[in-house]
Amino acid sequence: MSKASDIAYETIKSLIFESEIRPGEQLKEEDLAEKCGVSRTPVRDALVRLEADFLVEKRENQRSFVVDPGREDIDELFTLRAMLEGHAAARAAERATPDLVRRLRECLKLVENDQSVPVFLEHNSTFHRLILDAAGSSRLVSMLERLISQAVLHHTANAYSPEQIRQSIREHRELVEAIDHGDSEWARSVISGHIRRAFHVYSETLSELDAVSGDPAN
Amino acid sequence: MSKASDIAYETIKSLIFESEIRPGEQLKEEDLAEKCGVSRTPVRDALVRLEADFLVEKRENQRSFVVDPGREDIDELFTLRAMLEGHAAARAAERATPDLVRRLRECLKLVENDQSVPVFLEHNSTFHRLILDAAGSSRLVSMLERLISQAVLHHTANAYSPEQIRQSIREHRELVEAIDHGDSEWARSVISGHIRRAFHVYSETLSELDAVSGDPAN
DNA sequence: ATTCTGACATTTGTATACATTTATGTTGAG
DNA sequence: CTCAACATAAATGTATACAAATGTCAGAAT
Tell me how far apart the alpha carbons of residues B31 and B34 are, in angstroms, rounded to a whole number.
5
Residues B25 and B65: beta-carbon distance below 8 Å: yes
Instruction: Compute CA distances B100 → B130, B174, B179, whole Å.
Output: 8, 15, 9
Instruction: Compute CA distances A4 → A9, A36, B84, whole Å.
Output: 9, 9, 35
For residue A215, pLDDT over 80 is answered with no
Partner A contacted by B137 (CB < 8 A): yes
For residue B16, pLDDT over 90 is answered with yes
pLDDT in tens, A77-108: 899 999 999 999 999 999 999 999 999 999 99
pLDDT in tens, A132-141: 999 999 899 9
Distance in Å from C19's C1' to A24's CA comes to 29
Tell me whether residues B87 and A73 touch, CB distance under 8 A. Answer: no
Distance in Å from C5's C1' to B61's CA comes to 22
Tell me whether residues B49 and A45 touch, CB distance under 8 A. Answer: no
Measured N-to-C along each axis, helices A71-94 and A184-211 cross at an angle, to the nearest 10 degrees, of 160
Which positions ≥6 away from A54 have C-beta within 8 Å?
A67, A146, A147, A149, A150, B139, B142
Partner A contacted by B139 (CB < 8 A): yes
Burial label for A200, CB within 10 Å (0-12, 13-18, 19+), is: exposed
Q: What is the pLDDT of residue B138?
A: 87
Helix (H, G, I), strand (E, B) or coil at B27: strand
Q: Is the CB of A30 under 7 A from strand D?
A: yes
pLDDT in tens, B170-185: 999 999 999 999 999 9
In 3D space, the residue among B171, B192, B191, B187 whose CA is nearest the CA of residue B93 turns out to be: B187
Backbone angles phi, psi at B95, to 5 degrees: -110, 20
Q: Is the CB of A27 under 7 A from strand D?
A: yes
Q: Which of B41, B58, B139 has its CB closest to that of A54?
A: B139
pLDDT in tens, B38-93: 999 999 999 999 999 999 999 999 999 999 988 888 888 899 999 999 999 999 99
pTM equals 0.87
Identify all chain A residues contacting B44, using CB atoms and an 8 Å cutoff. 45
